[in-house]
């Protein structure tokens, strides 16, 4: 089988930390055993001076292997990803966030998997959560086989968005749903399954996911309601109007409405990880 070409798709915006972004870029280029053919970076609105300098450092290093797209205003991740995809012509697209760290063999392992499994259109992996003080806060595990993923999606996301590698041809018929500024990945996974595409995860850790102290503050009621709508609509498309599976998004929605201090306690207790891990 001929080799598969690969692009990395990232978005960065003004509030991102330059040192985190620099480390993320290092992990998808310098650290990788299989380097991508291209990195597509969407600047989502004006950047700080220090962040702009970091972007410029990588532009000089990567030359034409780094394509930079600039949004004049902050459009959000959903629209930024769709814009980036329009400029990608490689066989595969690897997602990456601007503050996470990809494991050195991530791309090599995912490309090898997709070569061996032409029926799979999206492959993710397991991840480790970390912060500036802790190398490993917790390990998140996700189902690996397509059938398990179809069942698990009703409970929670079956993929960690920044771990995924996707076939570019899938976006000839799909795109990130721009009705949703947040939880756009969940909406895409439901669309992928509804369109008949198959999803899998590697069984090993592919990414270190940065968990910062503001994660609880970002879980607003508006975001909770947005996520609830996505799950309810997605379950209806996959399983019809009558299913016990609607209980899962309802319980998630009620959890999101808890006071911030209680959500923080549940997160730090490890109960969330034990409930979500497969």
What CATH number is attached to the domain comprising 33?
A: 3.90.550.10
Residue 67 lies inside a defined structural domain of this protein: yes
Among the listed residues 74, 79, 94, 60, the one whose alpha carbon sits nearest the alpha carbon of residue 16? 74
| Cα angle 67-47-162, degrees, rounded to a multiple of 5 | 60
Residue 259 lies inside a defined structural domain of this protein: yes
Using a pLDDT cut of 90, give the percent of the chain over it.
Answer: 82
Banded pLDDT at 252 (limits 50, 70, 90): confident
Q: How many domains does the chain have?
A: 1
- Residue 148 CB-density burial (10 A; 0-12 exposed, 13-18 middle, 19+ buried): middle
> Where is mean pLDDT largest: 1-10, 155-164, 222-231?
155-164
In angstroms, the CA 103 to CA 107 distance is: 8
Residue 1 lies inside a defined structural domain of this protein: no
Among the listed residues 119, 118, 164, 115, the one whose alpha carbon sits nearest the alpha carbon of residue 4? 115
Question: SS3 of 122, please?
Answer: strand
Residue 96 lies inside a defined structural domain of this protein: yes
Looking at residue 255, its pLDDT comes to: 80
Q: Which domain holds residue 28?
A: 6-276
Contact status, residue 40 vs residue 10, Cβ threshold 8 Å? yes
The model's pLDDT over 167-222, given as tens digits with 9 standing for 90+, comes to 999 999 999 999 999 999 999 999 999 999 999 999 999 999 998 765 555 556 78
Give the residue-averaged pLDDT of 215-240: 84
Looking at residue 212, its pLDDT comes to: 75
The model's pLDDT over 9-36, given as tens digits with 9 standing for 90+, comes to 999 999 999 999 999 999 999 999 999 9
Contact status, residue 158 vs residue 142, Cβ threshold 8 Å? yes
Residue 21 lies inside a defined structural domain of this protein: yes
Looking at residue 151, its pLDDT comes to: 93
């Amino acid at each position: 089988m001929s080799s598969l070409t690969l692009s990395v798709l990232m978005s960065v915006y003004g509030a991102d930390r330059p040192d985190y972004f620099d480390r993320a870029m290092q992990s998808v280029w310098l650290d990788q055993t299989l380097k991508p053919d291209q990195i597509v970076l969407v600047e989502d609105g004006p950047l700080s001076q220090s962040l702009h300098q970091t972007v410029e450092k990588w532009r000089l290093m990567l030359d034409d292997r780094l394509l930079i797209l600039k949004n004049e205003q902050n459009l959000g991740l959903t629209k930024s990803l769709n814009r980036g995809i329009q400029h990608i012509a490689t066989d595969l697209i690897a997602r990456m966030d601007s503050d996470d760290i990809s494991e050195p063999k991530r791309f090599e392992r995912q490309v090898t998997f997709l070569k061996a499994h032409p029926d799979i259109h999206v492959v993710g992996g397991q991840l480790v959560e970390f912060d500036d003080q802790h190398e490993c806060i917790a390990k998140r595990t996700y189902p690996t086989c397509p059938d398990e993923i179809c069942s698990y999606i009703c409970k929670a996301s079956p993929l960690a968005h920044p771990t995924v590698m996707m076939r570019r041809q899938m976006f000839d018929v799909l795109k990130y749903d721009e009705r949703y500024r947040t939880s756009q990945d969940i909406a895409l996974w439901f669309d992928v399954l509804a369109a008949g595409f198959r999803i899998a995860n590697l069984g090993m850790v592919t990414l270190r996911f940065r968990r910062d102290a503001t994660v609880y503050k970002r879980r607003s009621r508006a975001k909770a309601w947005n996520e609830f709508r996505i799950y309810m609509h997605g379950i209806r498309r996959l399983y019809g109007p009558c299913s016990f599976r609607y209980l899962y998004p309802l319980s998630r929605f009620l959890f999101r409405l808890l006071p911030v201090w209680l959500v923080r306690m549940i997160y730090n207790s490890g109960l969330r990880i034990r409930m979500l891990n497969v």
